[in-house]
Amino acid sequence: SQTIHQWPATLVQPVGSPLSLECTVEGTSNPNLYWYRQAAGRGLQLLFYSVGIGQISSEVPQNLSASRPQDRQFILSSKKLLLSDSGFYLCAWKAGLSGNTIYFGEGSWLTVV
């Protein structure tokens, strides 16, 4: 069966520090991969999605970036965090073009102080 792992689960980072969140999917190949952000008590904001290795689409311009170095690995990064980057970050996957359902990882709580 397919599983998705996301880490770290929580982190507290100072303003201006870098960020790296990592996500891996097991049990499937060629998935579509996604990064969402959810501010406290708010909806899901799509940040990036990827349909293949090295292919990244950005939905919201900001100081975050994403990379997909391997088929089932998706990384969210920032060179310098802002206070407004605080939130709940969710990695998710979908079974390529044939699949409709998105499956979420357990999320990473980021607090920028």
Q: Specify the residue for token string 């406290």.
A: 40
CA 31 – CA 50 distance, rounded (Å): 8
In angstroms, give the least distance from the CB of 67 to other proteins.
Answer: 18
In angstroms, give the least distance from the CB of 41 to other proteins.
Answer: 7
Q: Specify the residue for token string 């969210």.
A: 76
Position 26 contacts other proteins (CB under 8 A): no
Which one of the spans 22-30, 40-48, 63-71, 79-87 is the region binding other proteins (CB under 8 A)? 40-48
In angstroms, give the least distance from the CB of 102 to other proteins.
Answer: 6
End-to-end CA distance of the chain: 38
Q: Specify the residue for token string 């999320």.
A: 107
Q: Count interface residues toward other proteins (CB under 8 A).
A: 21
CB atoms within 10 A of CB 59: 13
Among residues 34, 4, 30, the alpha carbon closest in space to that of 96 is found at 30
The answer to whether the CB of 108 falls within 8 A of the CB of 11 is yes
Position 107 contacts other proteins (CB under 8 A): yes
- Could you say which residues in the range 46-105 bind other proteins, by CB under 8 A? 46, 49, 51, 57, 90, 94, 97, 100-105
Residues in contact with other proteins by the rule CB under 8 A: 32, 34, 41-44, 46, 49, 51, 57, 90, 94, 97, 100-107
